[in-house]
Amino acid sequence: MHMVTLTKGVPDFREGKVSFDEDGHLERGKTPTVMNPNDKVALQAALQTKVKHGGHVSLLSMGPPGYKEVLQEGMADVYADDLCLLSDREMGAADTWATAMTIATGIEMLDEEPDIIFAGFKTADGETGHTGPQTNWCIDINDELTDRPLITHVISLDIDEDTNTVRAKRLVEGDVSEIETIETDLPAFIVTDPEFEANYRRAEHRLRYKDLREQTQERAAALDLDEDVTVWDHEALNLDPDFIGLDGSPTIVSGVDPIPKGPSEREARVVTPDDEDGMEAVFEELNAFAAGD
């Protein structure tokens, strides 16, 4: 089984890591870049497939050379057999369409066509959720690659090697959330839901998971970013610069407005417990709530 997981580097939005300027703009230089958290979920799905059925997990991204560390993070925190980065100035400032075109071509370049391509549910910065499905559309129009069904919002996954099929549960959110089960032939394109959970009910699988986690951590720690990450530029991918990056992006961003902070409607007043009159007033205020008014 050959699997590819797609990923992107995003600003680390966690408290204490992210930094904003006075106007509320993200300070890109002061905020570290990390692997998009939803992509780690997708990578867990790839790891589960490898644990249960063997095979090979590639982790692929498009971005600046610094993304090599993002790939390394994926290898250390989840799993990867090899790392591949599509990187070139010409690819910069791509929208989701140009990105999907580039990635589909990158997938075409791999030694072996993947049985399953995994992508995470939207990135933490762009939040479009388009790149995965659009990549599959680009695969559809690419004559070198096999068309494959797209299954999104996947929360659990089982593969039957004998019939070469995949059975996936999807979380369909509507007025009432429903779980839909889909069965389809491989190869397939799978977008995991953040609720996806790897599922290991056999001891042998948990033991293999433990082995693979140990191995991937060791390999990630010993990784030589110059040697061990495959990097392809637009020439290697044989892509026309007019169709990738900013030039290849039909999306026009007309402007960006920061979301203004909502004015607080509450007023705060400090009352010390020693202030008898103040406390009296506090109780007065609370009385209405205590009475359920």
- Binding region for another protein (CB under 8 A): 200-204, 206-207, 210-211
What is the C-alpha to C-alpha distance for residues 180 and 201, in angstroms, rounded to an integer? 22
Q: Tell me whether residue 207 or residue 271 sits nearer to another protein (CB atom).
A: 207
Give the helix/strand (H/E) hosting 290: helix 276-290
Which residue's CB is nearer to another protein, number 201 or number 266? 201
CA separation, residue 40 to residues 26, 118, 139 (Å): 23, 10, 23
For another protein, which is the closer residue by CB, 89 or 206? 206
- Of the pair 128, 165, the CB lying nearest another protein is at 165
How many CB atoms neighbour CB 82 within 10 A?
A: 18
Query: Cβ 41 to another protein, closest distance in Å?
Result: 20
Min dist. Cβ of residue 205 to another protein (A)? 9
What are 214's two structure tokens? 């140990």
Residue 44 beta carbon to another protein: minimum distance, rounded to whole angstroms = 16
Shortest reach from residue 43's CB to another protein, in Å? 21
Q: For another protein, give the closer residue by CB, 127 or 160.
A: 160
- Find the shortest distance in angstroms from Cβ 199 to another protein: 10
Q: What are phi and psi of 95, to 5 degrees?
A: -85, -175
Burial label for 67, CB within 10 Å (0-12, 13-18, 19+), is buried
Token representation of residue 192? 């995991």
